């Protein structure tokens, strides 16, 4: 994808990878629109990044997706990049027999990208250049047993991205998949942001932007640290890695 002159929508843009990507693309000379549930956070981020725009959106709400997307198409007719970053991760002790967290994760991590893509794709296919970037995870390729639904949604996103890439191969819309490793964000709780076992967020963003700049035809954006998971099945390390991380 081209790195400047885009109009980019990023869901879940108020923290973590979403905010960092928004600021990185904003610095490259793109019009960036972020979404999130909390208006005060959106206001803080846009104030700190003059020219960045925002829209309040709870991606779990299908009606809100349809309404906000319709307004975005009116306000930003040149919208040509969508980054499906919003996500939620929760542990699930399945013996407790509860599904609330599972349903929230499916709605946020899987249904939201599907719904938003469906609404925005008619606009994207009219643009001279366009891209949809889904955010999966290293755990899409080797799951962690304590996060069964989270890992399943990310595996589904990988599969969904492959299918859309095939269907859109004769259009100007690129389908890219960003595959983060374990990164210092608050996705799994506040302690994750300072976990020395996680990749520093600034390093992840720097390597991601480097790949995008130097490999414009790449279909998977996989930093070196994520390759352990991405290629575990192919190199025979899957079973050992699954057990190691699930036991930890």
CA distances from 139 to 149, 155, 207, 208, 221 (A): 11, 8, 19, 18, 15
Q: How many helices (H) and strands (E) does the chain have?
A: 10, 7
Burial bucket for residue 71 (CB in 10 Å: 0-12, 13-18, 19+)? exposed
Which residue in the list 147, 150, 160, 182 is annotated as catalytic?
150
Q: What whole-number distance in Å separates Cα of residue 243 and Cα of residue 248?
A: 9
Q: Where are the alpha helices (DSSP H) in 82-147?
A: 100-106, 112-124
76 catalytically annotated: no
- Residues in Cβ contact with 179 at an 8 Å cutoff, skipping those fewer than 6 apart: 136, 137, 138, 140, 141, 220, 221, 222, 223, 226, 229, 230
Catalytic residues: 150
């Amino acid at each position: 994808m081209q790195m400047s002159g885009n109009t980019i929508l990023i869901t879940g843009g108020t923290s973590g990878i979403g905010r960092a990507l928004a600021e990185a693309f904003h610095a490259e000379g793109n019009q960036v629109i972020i979404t999130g549930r909390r208006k005060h956070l959106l206001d803080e981020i846009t104030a700190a990044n003059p020219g960045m725009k925002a829209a309040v959106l709870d991606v779990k709400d299908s009606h809100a997706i349809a309404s906000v997307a319709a307004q975005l198409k009116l306000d930003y007719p040149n919208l040509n990049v969508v980054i499906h970053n919003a996500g939620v991760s929760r542990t699930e002790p399945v013996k407790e027999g509860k599904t609330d967290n599972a349903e929230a994760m499916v709605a946020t991590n899987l249904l939201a990208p599907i719904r938003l893509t469906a609404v925005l794709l008619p606009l994207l296919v009219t643009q001279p250049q366009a891209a949809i970037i889904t955010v999966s995870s290293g755990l899409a390729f080797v799951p962690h047993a304590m996060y069964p639904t989270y890992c399943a949604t990310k595996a589904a996103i990988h599969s969904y991205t492959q299918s859309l890439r095939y269907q859109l191969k004769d259009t100007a819309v690129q389908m890219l998949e960003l595959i983060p490793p374990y990164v210092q964000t608050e996705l799994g709780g506040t302690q994750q942001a300072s976990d020395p076992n996680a990749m520093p967020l600034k390093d992840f963003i720097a390597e991601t932007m480097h790949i995008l700049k130097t490999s414009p035809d790449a279909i998977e954006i996989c930093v070196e640290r994520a390759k352990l998971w991405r290629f575990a099945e192919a190199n025979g390390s899957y079973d050992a890695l699954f057990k190691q991380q699930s036991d930890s």
